[in-house]
Amino acid sequence: MIKRDSLLTAISKYHLSGNVEKVVWNVDSKTLFCKFIDESKTLVGEVKCPLDIKDGSYCIYDTNSLSKMISILDHDVHIETVGNKEKTTQMLLADSKVDIKYNLADKRVIPTPPEVSGLDTIAFEMNLDSEFTQKFIKAKDSLSAINVVNIGTHHGFTGEQALISVGDRGSSTIEFHENANVNENVRDLIPFNSDLIKDIFRANKTFKQGTLALNPKGLLIIKFVEDDITSKYYLVRNQNN
């Protein structure tokens, strides 16, 4: 049996409020490893968690639909699959009263996430806490028409700090000055999609550990640990700024 809410929580960490629909669930030794890329091809990520189903690759074409189906079920969910390790065609989900049949897709219609480079070059890394992530979400909501956040470093009262400025440079902004382990100064702030970051923070709102790091060439690296779920996100800079 699988806990419904645990499964939905794991799914939400890659679905990100609809930013990612098409993924492959790779299951090996009761562990799910899901790599993904969003529709805009600016965000790549991976989620890893326990999942007690048969080993294999499960191609999900419409995560939104699958999530809604799972939410119909009671707390304990039984999952079986139709097919073999090379090709699985259906996922069968059930509780004591409801049976659900979900048709799986062909792997050729699922986008393949690229390998991420630049992880060894870090300008700064900061620990995340729920106070900062919730304030960021509120800041983004208060500037809902603007979808950019500029990130870099500055010299603050306690030395070099991370600078996270929600809003466009020519409009209203909300700046966060956060303690960080700074290896390289980035005075020319780098723009990222603030909507995606907000959705990442919302999907991981009950995290136990979290970090945010910046590659000075324009890669944002966000990692979370929540109980037995790990999630990682790699967001490239906005190209039109």
Instruction: Please tell me the predicted confidence (pLDDT) of residue 165.
Output: 95
Residue that finishes a domain, picked among 109, 139, 171:
109
Q: Examine the domain organization and report whether 102 and 172 are in the same domain.
A: no
Beta-sheet strand order (sheet of 229-236): 56-60, 23-28, 31-37, 43-50, 229-236, 219-226, 209-215, 124-127, 181-182
Instruction: Please tell me the predicted confidence (pLDDT) of residue 48.
Output: 97
Q: Domain with 35 in it: what CATH number? A: 3.10.150.10
105: helix, strand or coil = coil
Is 114 part of a structural domain of the chain?
no
Q: Examine the domain organization and report whether 48 and 87 are in the same domain.
A: yes
Instruction: Please tell me the predicted confidence (pLDDT) of residue 85.
Output: 64
Is 241 part of a structural domain of the chain?
no
Residue that finishes a domain, picked among 109, 134, 160:
109
Q: Measured between alpha carbons, how far is 53 from 166 in angstroms, rounded to an integer?
A: 42
Average pLDDT over residues 224-237: 96
In Å, how far are 129, 186, 214 from 179, measured between CA atoms? Answer: 12, 15, 14
Instruction: Please tell me the predicted confidence (pLDDT) of residue 117.
Output: 86
Average pLDDT over residues 157-169: 89
Q: Examine the domain organization and report whether 103 and 128 are in the same domain.
A: no
Is 116 part of a structural domain of the chain?
no
Residue 68: both structure tokens together: 């809604």
Q: Is the separation of the CB atoms in 27 and 51 below 8 Å?
A: yes
Q: Which residue has the higher pLDDT, 84 or 162?
A: 162
Length of the chain: 241
Is 36 part of a structural domain of the chain?
yes
Is 27 part of a structural domain of the chain?
yes
* 210: pLDDT strictly greater than 60: yes
* 59: pLDDT strictly greater than 90: yes
Q: Examine the domain organization and report whether 100 and 175 are in the same domain.
A: no
Average pLDDT over residues 220-232: 96
Q: Which domain holds residue 172?
A: 124-236
Q: Examine the domain organization and report whether 73 and 140 are in the same domain.
A: no
Band (241; pLDDT cuts 50, 70, 90): low
Average pLDDT over residues 138-161: 91
Band (169; pLDDT cuts 50, 70, 90): confident
Instruction: Please tell me the predicted confidence (pLDDT) of residue 152.
Output: 96
Band (118; pLDDT cuts 50, 70, 90): confident
pTM value is 0.95
Half-sphere exposure of 122 (CA within 13 A, CB side): 15
* 180: pLDDT strictly greater than 90: yes
Number of domains in the chain: 2
Residue 54: both structure tokens together: 């048969």
Q: What is the DSSP string of 175-235?
A: EEEEE-EESS---S-EEEEHHHHHHHHHHTTT-SEEEEEEETTTEEEEEEEETTEEEEEEE
Q: Measured between alpha carbons, how far is 158 from 179 in angstroms, rounded to an integer?
A: 8
Band (170; pLDDT cuts 50, 70, 90): confident
* 90: pLDDT strictly greater than 80: yes
Is 180 part of a structural domain of the chain?
yes
Residue that finishes a domain, picked among 86, 109, 132:
109
